[in-house]
Structures are given as structure tokens and as C-alpha cells.
Amino acid sequence: MIKKKLKIKNKLGLHARASNKLSELANNFNSQTFITFNDERVDAKSMMDILLLSIAQNDEFQIEISGDDENDSFKAINNLIDNLFDEGE
Amino acid sequence: MFTISGISVSPGIAIGKAVILSHTLNEVEAKNISFSQIKSEISKFNNALIKAENELLKIKKDLLISQMGSFTSFIDIHLSILRDEKISKNTIDIIHSNLCSAEWALKLQADEIIRKFEKISNPYIQERKHDVMQVCENIAKYIVGSNQKISHKKNNSILVAHDISPADALKFKSTNFISFVTDMGGPTSHTAILARSINIPSIVGIQNAKKLIKNDDVLIVDGDSSTIIINPNSNVLHDYYLRKNHWDTEQKKLLTLAKIKSKTLDKKNIQLLANIEDEADIKSIFSKNADGVGLFRTEFIFMSKGKMLSENEQFVIYKRLASNLKNKELIIRTLDSGADKVINNPNTESQNPALGLRAIRLCLAEPDIFITQIKAILRASIFGRVKILIPMLSSINELNQAKWLIKRAKNLLDAEDKKYDKNILIGGMIEIPAAAIHIDTFAKQLDFLSIGTNDLIQYTLAVDRTDDSVSHLYNSIHPAILKLIHNTINAGKKFNIPVSLCGEMAGEERYTKLLLGMGLHIFSMHPASILRVKKKIIETNCKKNTQIINKILKSDQQSEIETLVSKLNQF
């Protein structure tokens, strides 16, 4: 299992479209994926759950990924966050 | 017979019968099922999910074909809500655990999700609860089979709904409803945008329309007085039929004016420009034969996407507009958000947003937003006659900073080897009294001026027009307002730069002769008002009105000004 802290860098944080991209990506992998923020742990495959965490720019959250493709999944999610969800800022 | 009122979002009169769009989720009742029915309830639910998903996919495809790209991001969000396990899986769990019908299980789950959204303090995220409601409502309709076949409806139907979702709006675009009436919504809601784009009178924000109106009730929707008369008696009905006929003939007559030159009787050429919010508005510019776009309110394209757009996303929109306008001018106002039009900034909770961090102030505080937009506008400038308009200037300092940032944007484009119009004209909105009073300083340093009367009146008279207790004090022809407008027009003459007026006052034909008399030559307004104002222009002889105009400008009596303005309009 991978358990890491990640920081949101894009300006708007995890708003609807970014939450959507993140959950779609998590859904592309078999691994179970959970996000913990402010003591709340949610399934990263649910767009609404991610959105409801209300994560803003520079917030840090914990991600847990477990399954046969956990390494690939983590890499992809990390990339998405690094690329600012393709929002350019 | 009784009357209710709301917010009119599109003018005109409609007389017809109410068709209530049922709100299934609000109306379902708790229903228990037996153990053996679980399977069939689950398959009912799953089938509904598939149908609702297919409907969204089809709408998305149609949108892409018809190039209404700005709506697709809504559809994407709706699709991901629909596919979320919180809905798809949890509803099935509830059917199992509570032994209840699919629609009731969905209602319980939707309520639960909506409660969570309501607890979020970020207003942007909280607003998404409407998306959840609209998605669940659509699934519920497919479960209970109440998805009305609206294409087979009778003529003269008025749609009465709790709210119209973007998906609904697109479905209704091609039906022949003659009016929309909704509980929810404001001037920028989907209902409003839809009503204006297909040009039918509509009233939103009535709160309890669905409670007060029954199917087949006869309704008169009066978009001019923002009222709806329910089951009118025969006298009122007769009166409204006459008014409607009158309105319809006027509209037809007005259309013939489109081709006529906009010129006063004493041969002054007057420019008529349109205020637009969306690319779709461009059609009306050609049908009304407007001279161009006097005000492109860019904040609405941001709002419809719910986020800041990148330089490229903006560039594509501005470029398309500039080239579609052929050789007509396009004045792009930089972001005017803040106050009533918050995009996506949770930190904008100010006690007094109209006086807070908005428009150019926001852009100077967040120069990245401004530079991104300016670069996009500059790049589009080689595809048409593009100008930049800066809102809410209150000091020369702000203007200097804005100009410095524009120069920086140009340098960045030079470094990227991208083309733009090096001599692009920069104008300023005159809407803060400080700028109107100190107008010469601004006129000296700007290429054109645009008077924003809505804010100028609000700030000068210290009246919030949306506050019922003081709205009667809002007065477009208060002597102080006329003085500020007149000074601004005169400063334009003195420094030889064009002055336009783009507030609502420009579209109110009662003031056309007055403004012409004060020396205004450029009017920018909602496209729907252009021909009405043109009609006034072509029957005006400015020379003949000089005496009355001078009297008005000298008067300090409100009642005298009112009488003189009425007198102006009698000729």
C-alpha cells in the first residue's frame, strides 16, 4: 500500500472540474484509493466526496492507494496534481 | 384572478395556458416494497441511470455540433455526478436496507448529499448542490416515467417550473413555449439566458409559482411590469390582448428599421452598439444591424465555466468573436467580477462588496489574472477591430498601473513571438463619481470613454437598486447624474476622443432625446433595445431641442426635470 502526503498547487483547488478529473483518474485503476483531509477519509473514486472536502490551493492531504496497480495509479495522480489539472495556474 | 410578481428577464407579453413541469423528487412519497420486489426496483433504477446518462451524452454531442461549447462543462459535471457511486451504489444499498421504492431511495440519498453541500462554507462548492438536485431530478423522472414528452405540446403553452437546468434549457430551446416562469433564478440564470436567446417574455425568481399556478390555468406574463396575472377576468384579458397586439405590431414595424441609417433629423450620425455576454448574442448584432459590440462583459464567460479561463481558452473565444464580427468593432471590458458576480474566490466575503475588491482593483491585486486576459485580448486583436475597456477606474494611479501591466503583456507576447495590434486602443469606464468629477485627467490619458450609468448612479446617489427600501431613490435623471454625464461627454469633445454610454439608461428610449441633446453620439445597449432607441433617434432634431435641454441642465428641481423630459418626448 502507498500512503503519501500530497499538496494541491493549482489556484482553484479541488473545485468541480478538478475533482472530476481526479475521480475519473482513480476510476481508471483497480486499486482502492482514499483521501484523508481534516480527519475525513473519503473514496477518491467519488467526485462528490472529493469536492465536499473543499480542498484549496496549498492544502495538504493524505492519499492511500492499495492494489495491483498502486504504483501506476500514484504516479498518474501525482502527475495530474503537478500539472495543475491542466488548468495552467 | 390574482397577480404575482418576480424578476423579468426578457420583455414582451405572453398569454397562454400553464404547463407545469413536475418536480418529481419533491413529490415522491415513501413507499415500502416486499423482499421479492428488490430486484425489479434495482433494475428500474439502473435503467433510469442509463437513460439519464444517454440523454446527457446526446445533449453534449448536440452542443459540440452546434458550437455552443460554453455549456459542455456543465454537462460534464452533471455526467460525473450521475456516475458517482454516492448515487449509483448508495441508492441501491438503501433499496436493500430500507426495503423502499427506487424513487424514494434516490430521494433519501439526494437529500443526504444536498445536506452535506449546504454545510460547506465555500459558496462556489455550495452552489453545486443545484447540480446534484438537477441530476437526481432527471433520474427520478426516468424511474417514475414522468419525463414529459414536451415536444408534443399544444400551442400557446407557458412553462412553469421550479427551476430550469442547463440540460432542460437546451431541450426547451427547440420547443415552442411562449414564455418561461420559474421559482428560482435571477437575471443571469440559465432560464434568463435561454429566454433572451429565443426572445420570449419570461419571469424568474417568483419563489412559489409552482404552488400558486395549476396546469391549464390561463396566464398573462407581462415582461414589462414583471408580473403574472393568473386566470384573468375577461376585461383584463381583453385589455392584454390589445396590448399584446400593439406590442407585436410595434416589434414588426421596428424590424423594418434595421436597414435604415441611424441618423437624427439634423443629420447627426449616431452609433448603436450592443452589450453582449455570450458568443451567441452575436446573431442579434447582425439582425439588428448594430455597429458593433460596445461592451463585451467577459465575466459571464468565466461564470458560465465556473473558473478562470486560461490564456488560450480566452483567446479562442475573443478571436472567434472578433472575426465573426467582420469589420465591426469589438470593445472587450476586462474582468468586472467581484461584488455581485463572484467567480470562484472564497475570500471575497466583504461587508460591502460593491465598494470592495472588484473589477480593476481585483485585477491589480491579482495581476496574473489581468495579464492572462490582456494577452488573450491582444492576440485576438489582429483578427478584427478590438479595443480594451478598463472598468471601475477611480484614480489615475490605477490607470497607470493597468497601462503598465498592458505594456508588460505586450512584452511577454513579443518574447513569445506572437502577433498583436501594437496600437490597440485603451478606454476607461466612467462609473465611479471620482472619475466623472476628475474627468479631464482621465480623458487626457485614454483613447475613449464609456459611461457606466448603472454604477455611476448607484455610487453617486448611494442607492442600492436591489434594496426595496431605497430603490425608489434610484434616479437616472437626478441633476447630479446629468451633470456628471454631461461633463464626461464634454471632456470627450475637448480631448477629441469618443464617448459612449453603456448603462441601462442607453437602452431606455425615454432618455434617448435627452442624451442626444447632451451631445452623446454613441449608445451601447442590450441588443433587444437597439431598434426601439433607433426609432427615437431618427425622429429627433437635436437643434430644435437645444432650448429644453439647456433648461434641463440648468434645473435643480427634480419635478421640473421630469416635466421637461416628458415634454422632449412629446415632439
DSSP state of A10: S
* B117 with A52: Cβ contact below 8 A: yes
Given B23, B78, B162, B190, the catalytic residue: B190
For B98, the grid coordinates are 430500507
| pLDDT value of position B152 | 44
The pTM for the full model equals: 0.64
Handedness of CA A70, B53, B186, B511 (dihedral sign): positive
Instruction: Residue A49: list chain B partners with CB under 8 A.
Output: 84, 86
* B116 with A52: Cβ contact below 8 A: yes
Of B564, B369, B359, which Cα lies nearest the Cα of B482?
B564
* A15 with B85: Cβ contact below 8 A: no
| pLDDT value of position B341 | 45
DSSP state of B433: H
Chain A neighbours among B 101-120 (CB < 8 Å)? Answer: 113, 116-117, 120
* A89 with B368: Cβ contact below 8 A: yes
**If phi over 0 gives left and psi between -120 and 50 gives alpha, with beta otherwise, what is residue B388?**
beta
* B306 with A43: Cβ contact below 8 A: no
| pLDDT value of position B100 | 94
Q: What is the residue-level pLDDT of chain B in tens, covering all 571 positions?
A: 899 988 888 888 999 999 888 778 878 888 889 989 999 999 999 999 999 999 888 888 877 766 555 567 778 888 989 999 899 999 999 999 999 999 999 999 999 999 999 888 887 788 788 889 889 988 998 998 865 555 445 678 999 988 887 667 767 766 778 999 998 877 656 677 677 767 789 998 888 888 899 988 999 999 888 899 999 999 999 999 999 999 889 888 888 999 999 999 999 999 999 998 878 778 889 989 999 999 998 887 776 565 678 899 999 999 999 999 999 999 999 998 754 444 544 444 556 777 888 889 888 888 888 999 999 999 999 999 999 999 999 999 999 999 999 999 999 999 999 999 999 999 999 999 999 999 999 999 999 999 999 899 999 999 877 666 777 888 999 999 999 999 999 999 999 999 999 988 998 889 999 999 999 999 999 888 899 999 999 999 999 999 999 999 999 999 999 999 999 998 6
Chains A & B: contacts with CB separation below 8 Å: 63
Q: What is the residue-level pLDDT of chain A in tens, covering all 89 positions?
A: 999 999 999 888 898 889 989 998 999 999 999 999 999 999 999 999 999 999 999 999 999 999 999 999 999 999 999 989 887 77
- Bridge partners of B269, per DSSP, are B263
For A25, the grid coordinates are 483518474
Question: How far, in Å, CA of B426 to CA of B370, rounded?
Answer: 14
Instruction: Residue A48: list chain B partners with CB under 8 A.
Output: 81, 84, 86, 113, 132
Gap from A6 CA to chain B (nearest CA, Å): 21
